[in-house]
Amino acid sequence: MVAVRFHGRGGQGAKTASRILGTAAFVSGYVAQDSPIYGAERRGAPVAAFTRFGRDPIRERGAIAHPDVLVVADASLLDDAAAHVLDGVTGQTVLFVNSSLSADRLRTHLTLPEHVTTRDVTGVALQQLGAREAISALLGAVAARVVGLEWEPVRSAIDRELRDLGLAEPVLERNLTAARLCYDSVEPARLPQGAVQAVGAASLHHPAYEPPTKGTARIAAAGNSVLRETGGWRTFRPVLVADRCNGCWLCFAYCPDGVISMNREDRPVVDYAHCKGCQICVHECPTHALIAEREQEGGVAWTAK
Amino acid sequence: MWQRETFKKIKQIPREEHVLPGTALCAGCGGLEALRLAAKVLGDHVVYVNAAGCFTMLAAYPYSSFKGSWLYTTMGSAPAGAQGIRDALDVLIAKGRVPKDEDVKVIVLGGDGSTYDMALSSTSGAMNRKLDFYYICYDNEAYGNTGMQLSPATPFAARTATSPCSLQHPGATQEKKDIFEIWRAHRPPYIATVAPRYPLDLAEKFARAAAYTGPKMFLALSACPTGWGYDPGATPEVAKLAVETGLWPLKEAVNGVVTHTYIPKRKPVEAYLQLQGRFRHLFEPTVHTEAIRHIQGQVDAYWRQAIQEQA
Ligand SMILES: Cc1ncc(C[n+]2csc(CCOP(=O)(O)OP(=O)(O)O)c2C)c(N)n1
Ligand code: SF4
Ligand code: SF4
Ligand code: SF4
Ligand SMILES: [Mg+2]
C-alpha cells in the first residue's frame, strides 16, 4: 500500500488533488481511498487530504500519520507549526513541495527528509490557467507521477473529477495541458514496497460531565483576533503606486477585512500582516493606483502570537 | 424619493474598525464586508448572538474579532438567545448594574440556512413579542460552513453541493423564499435589505433603524467567492450586478410600508449569472435559454409590481 498525504490551503485544491490521485490509481486497477480532513476550513486556512492505494484491500481509515509521499501545495505551510505538515515524516518519506525555491534553499531553515523535489507549480498555473485558479489537477498529476502511475489514467481522473466540479470545457483543457507539464517535470520515486503501518489499538474514553460554566469555551479577551496574522494567505499583495492615487477612500470602504486605513494625506496604508490578498481593493480602485504583485515565498500562512 | 440623511459621501464612513482582522473567514467574503460596515454604525456596545455558520469563525476559541460581547447558539435558537440577553440586560439596568446610557444593543447574526429555515419559528416568536433587537441575516444563499448545501435562500437554478447540475438536474429547482415578506407580515418597525457594494445605503439604513424600538431586521447580500465560484476580488462586482440587474432589490419597510431605496436600470440577468461558477451550467456547454428567461421573467414581474406600488 502507498499512503500519500496532501497539505494545502483551502481553495488551492489539495482535496481534489487527493481525489484525482485516488481515481487515477483506481482506474489503473488498484484499490484506492481518499478523504479530506473536513472541518470549517476556509480559503487560505491549512487543510489536509489523504490517499491510499494498493493491490490488496486496505483496512486503514482516516488520517495518514506516516505518509510514504507528502505533497505540499504551498511552501509557506512548512513554516507554519499549526499546519503540522512535517508530522510523522521519516527519513524514507518522499516530499514534494510546490515552490520556486530549490530543496537546498528550503533546507537552510527547515529539517527535511532526504528525498525532496520542488517545482513551481503555481508558476505553471499562472502561465497556463491565469491568476489564482486551483492547482488541484497539477498537484494530482505530480503526485501520480511520483507514485509511478501512467499518464492515461491520470488524464482520465482529472477529466472526471474536474468535470464533476462543473468546470467548463476550455478550462478543463487548460488544466490537462498544465497537468501534463507538471507530470512530465518530475520523476517517479522509489517507494518502500509493502511496508505495513502499525495501527494502534483503540481505547474508549468516557468524557466526564462538566457544567456549562466550566465546560463551555469562554474568550475573556476583546478583539484579540489581531494576534493571529493572515498575511501569509496571499499569493498577491496590493501595492500602492502613490502618484496615481486620488484619495477617494474606495479601497478603504470595500476591504472586507478592514485592513486598509487612510493616512493624513488620504492615501491608503495596508496592514500586510493581516491583508488576505483578496484583491478587492485592486479591482475597485478607479485610478489603478493599487496593483497586484506576486508574493515572494517564505511567508507563514497563518501565525499566531 | 428616498434620500440619505446621515451618510451622504464615502468619507463619512467612520474610520474606526469594530470587526478586527485575523478572522478565519475567506478572503473576499462579502458577508464580512457587510458586517464590517454595519458594525461601524452599531459600535462596540453590542452583544452579538450568533447561530452556527460561517460567522461563528469570527469568535472561535481562543480568538474574538469583537470588542463587544458574543454568544454562540444553535442554528435554531439565536433569537431566543437574544431574548434572554435582552431580558438580562434590562434587569441589570433596572438594578443599576449596567448604565442605561451605554445603550447596549443585542444583535442576532445568522446565516440564511438559520434565518430562512431552522430559526424561522424562533424569529417569528421574537418579532411577535416585539423584542428590541437587531437581526442581521448574511445571505450567502446556501448552507455555507458545511460545504454549500441547498438552502431555501438558494436562487433558482443555482448549483450547490446538493443541487448538482446535469441534464436531469439544472441546479436548484425551487425559488428563493421571500423572507423579507415573511418578516414584513409580522410588522416589525424596521426591515431593510443591503448589499456590501453600496456602503452608504447600508450605513444609512443602520443609522435610521436606531430610531426604532423593537425588531430591526436586516437582510444582507453576502456575495461568497467560495460558494458561488468566482475570484475573491470580484465580490463588489458580483454584489453590484445583483443590484443592477434587479435581482437583489435595495429596500426598506418602515412599519410595513415598503420603499425601494435604489431603482436600478436593470441590466439583463445574464450579466450577473455569467460571473459565477454556480450558474455556469446555464451557459455551457449549451445555453439554457428557458431557465435564463424564467429568471429574467421573475425579476421583471417583481419590478413591475414594485414600481406600480411605489407610484
Ligand atoms: C441543527 C443543526 N444542524 C446542522 C448543523 C451543522 N451546521 C453548522 S453551520 C451549518 C451551515 C449554516 O448555514 P447558514 O445558516 O446559511 O450559514 P453559513 O454557513 O452559510 O454562513 C450547518 C448545517 C448545526 N450546527 N445545527
Ligand atoms: S487585498 Fe483584500 S484584504 Fe488586502 S487590503 Fe486589499 S481588499 Fe483588503
Ligand atoms: S481606491 Fe485607489 S484612488 Fe481611491 S484611495 Fe484607494 S488607492 Fe487611492
Ligand atoms: S464560505 Fe462564503 S460566506 Fe462563508 S466565509 Fe467564505 S466567503 Fe464568507
Ligand atoms: Mg448561508
Same domain, A230 and A181: no
Provide the domain count of chain B: 1
Which of B19, B29, B36, B149 to probe ligand 4 with, by most ligand atoms within 8 A of CB?
B29
Mean pLDDT value of segment A181-197: 81
Contact criterion met (CB < 8 Å) for A225 and B64: yes
Q: Does some domain include residue A233? A: yes
Q: Which of A74, A280, A284, A295 to mutate to test the interface with B (most CBs of B within 10 A)?
A: A280
CA of B30 to the centre of ligand 2 (A): 12
Contact criterion met (CB < 8 Å) for A219 and B30: no
pLDDT at residue A198 tops 70: no
Same domain, A172 and A238: no
Q: Which of B197, B194, B292 is nearest to B239 (CA)?
A: B197
Q: Does some domain include residue B1? A: no
Q: Which three cell numbers stand for residue B250?
A: 435595495
What pLDDT does A169 receive? Answer: 86
Boundary of a domain, candidates A185, A211, A242 = A185
Q: Does some domain include residue A219? A: no
Spell out which residues of chain B touch residue A166, defining contact as CB-CB under 8 Å. 159, 165, 229, 277, 280-281
Q: Does some domain include residue B215? A: yes
CA of A134 to the centre of ligand 3 (A): 29
Residue nearest to atom 4 of ligand 2 (CA): A275
CATH number for the domain that contains residue A42: 3.40.920.10
Residue nearest to atom 3 of ligand 4 (CA): B224
What pLDDT does A152 receive? Answer: 97
Q: Does some domain include residue A272? A: yes
Same domain, A158 and A235: no
Q: Does some domain include residue B51? A: yes
Same domain, A31 and A81: yes
**Cα angle, residue B272 at apex, residues B270 and B273 outer, rounded to 5°:** 65
Provide the domain count of chain A: 2
Q: Which three cell numbers stand for residue B104?
A: 447596549
Q: Which domain holds residue B97?
A: 10-310
pLDDT at residue B36 tops 70: yes
C-alpha distances out from residue A162 to A17, A157, A175, B47, Å: 10, 8, 9, 43
Using CB atoms, pick whichever of A168, A253, A279 lies closest to residue B199.
Answer: A253
Q: Does some domain include residue A14? A: yes
C-alpha distances out from residue B153 to A129, A163, B76, B177, Å: 32, 26, 16, 6
What pLDDT does A77 receive? Answer: 86
Residue of B nearest to A279 (CA): B233
Contact criterion met (CB < 8 Å) for A221 and B225: no
Spell out which residues of chain B touch residue A274, defining contact as CB-CB under 8 Å. 21-22
Q: B61-77 pLDDT, tens per residue?
A: 889 999 999 999 999 99
Q: Does some domain include residue B3? A: no
Percentage of residues of chain B with pLDDT beyond 70 = 98
Same domain, A234 and A178: no
Q: Which domain holds residue A15?
A: 2-185
List, chain by chain if needed, residues with CB within 6 Å of any ligand 1 atom.
B 52-55, 74-76, 111-114, 118, 140, 142-146, 151
Same domain, A80 and A165: yes
With residue B115 as reference, give the H or E element that holds it: none
Residue of A nearest to B281 (CA): A166
Q: Does some domain include residue A220? A: no
Same domain, A20 and A83: yes
Please give the Cα distance from B43 to B23 (Å, whole number): 18
Ligand with the closest atom to the CA of B146: 1
CATH number for the domain that contains residue B36: 3.40.50.970
Q: B201-256 pLDDT, tens per residue?
A: 999 999 999 999 999 999 999 999 999 999 999 999 999 999 999 999 999 999 99
Boundary of a domain, candidates A185, A216, A238 = A185
pLDDT at residue B148 tops 70: yes
Question: Is A66 within 8 Å of A197 (Cβ atoms)?
Answer: yes
pTM assigned to the model: 0.86
Q: B104-141 pLDDT, tens per residue?
A: 999 999 999 999 999 999 999 999 999 999 999 999 99
Same domain, A49 and A173: yes
Q: Does some domain include residue A45? A: yes
What pLDDT does A200 receive? Answer: 55
Q: Does some domain include residue B104? A: yes
What pLDDT does A235 receive? Answer: 81
Mean pLDDT of chain A: 88
With residue B258 as reference, give the H or E element that holds it: strand B257-260
Q: Does some domain include residue A46? A: yes
Please give the Cα distance from B281 to B166 (Å, whole number): 8
As for the ipTM of the complex, it is 0.96
Q: Which of A160, A167, A237, A278 to mutate to test the interface with B (most CBs of B within 10 A)?
A: A278
CATH number for the domain that contains residue A242: 3.30.70.20
Q: Which of A147, A76, A130 is nearest to A298 (CA)?
A: A76
Tell me the HSE value of B15 on the side-chain side, using a 13 A CA sphere.
Answer: 8
Span of A35-44, A100-109, B16-25 with lowest mean pLDDT: A35-44
Spell out which residues of chain A touch residue B66, defining contact as CB-CB under 8 Å. 222-223
Q: Does some domain include residue A212? A: no
* Total residue count of chain A as it appears in this document: 305
